[in-house]
Amino acid sequence: MTKKIMFWTKLKRVLRTGFFNFWRDSTVTLASLLVMMVTLLVIGLTSFSSAILENTLTELRNKIDINVTFVTTAKEEDILNIKQTIESLPEVLLATYISREEALTLFKERHSTDQVILSALDELGENPLGAVLNIRAREPSQYASVAEFLESDNVLSSDGLTIIDRINYFQNKAAIDKLIGIISSADRLGFISMLFFVIIAILIAFNTIRLTIYLARDEISVMRLVGASTTYIRGPFVVVGVIYGVVAGILTLLLLLFLTYWFASTSESFFIGFNIFSYYLRHFAEIALIIMVSGICIGALSSTLAIRKYLKV
């Protein structure tokens, strides 16, 4: 046989043997597939959890803001001037002006069920609320400098008097600082714990495949003794490893489809509007690529490494 024909014949034989081994060792195959599926599921869920965490963090960040309440006598023109100045700051993402009337309407809406407050408000006869400037920074850590800026003389009215009644940043500072701390440590902790789980899962898959090859050690020694070359012995085992990866990958993707569909509405209410099912569909190509490549690599690599020990005869 010429070398080229020999190569294709060998490849065909290796693939055929690998496929037969996968098919015939049903118990071993089932066990390996299940373990591999768990591993790939952990890897798949890692990408979900990082998306969920990121989404939750963004939502939380959006909830942090500064409310500057002005004295009731402040002129709207002065407030709008301040708004403009603030908007020009690089740290500020958005500044929203809420007039005294709007503040009153919002207040009434919020307390629509509390008759005592509403009647007290009526008795006052005039609007006790000042206008409010709601400020959003680009990053939570930038609120301190925004607040400092508001404290300075830059925001005096045209008469040179301060028209700011209070800035709630200083009241909320402790809570905001704590939140920023939680956010950054959740980021770190999330990454470390995911890495930990992924490593454990890969080790378990690797060990399972090692066990399947351990079961075949006598057969490997027979193959060695009839003069089969290293490549020829190793080939079918690597093929089986790759088939484990592909089949487990497909099953994992299907399982994720069911799981995410099942938990779609729960996830939406639990993770502040994060729909896990639509996230899965939107990022299917990415997730499928990660899972399939991981499966194939883990399968092929585990077989290659595990069989080395038994090829020494």
* Contacting residues toward another protein, per CB under 8 A: 1, 6, 9, 13, 17, 20-21, 24-25, 218-219, 222-230, 232, 313
List the one residue out of 57, 56, 140, 58 whose CA is nearest residue 91: 140
Q: Hunting for tokens 């996230």 — which residue is that?
A: 279
For another protein, the closer of residues 120 and 313 by Cβ is: 313
For another protein, the closer of residues 213 and 296 by Cβ is: 213
Q: Is 133 left (phi over 0), alpha (psi -120 to 50) or beta?
A: beta
For another protein, the closer of residues 30 and 222 by Cβ is: 222
Three-class HEC string of 187-207: HHHHHHHHHHHHHHHHHHHHH
Smallest gap from Cβ 232 to another protein, in A, equals 6
For another protein, the closer of residues 10 and 111 by Cβ is: 10
For another protein, the closer of residues 9 and 62 by Cβ is: 9
Smallest gap from Cβ 256 to another protein, in A, equals 32
Helix crossing, 168-215 with 217-225: angle to 10°?
A: 50
For another protein, the closer of residues 219 and 286 by Cβ is: 219
Smallest gap from Cβ 25 to another protein, in A, equals 6
Smallest gap from Cβ 216 to another protein, in A, equals 9
| Nearest-angstrom CA–CA distance, 255 and 43 | 13
Smallest gap from Cβ 192 to another protein, in A, equals 43
CA 225 to each of CA 212, 221, 230: distance values in angstroms, whole numbers, following the listed order: 21, 6, 11
| HSE value, Cβ hemisphere, 13 Å, CA-based, for 276 | 25
| HSE value, Cβ hemisphere, 13 Å, CA-based, for 101 | 1
Q: Hunting for tokens 């020694």 — which residue is that?
A: 221
For another protein, the closer of residues 123 and 218 by Cβ is: 218
| Nearest-angstrom CA–CA distance, 28 and 20 | 13
Smallest gap from Cβ 29 to another protein, in A, equals 11
| Nearest-angstrom CA–CA distance, 135 and 155 | 14
Smallest gap from Cβ 296 to another protein, in A, equals 23
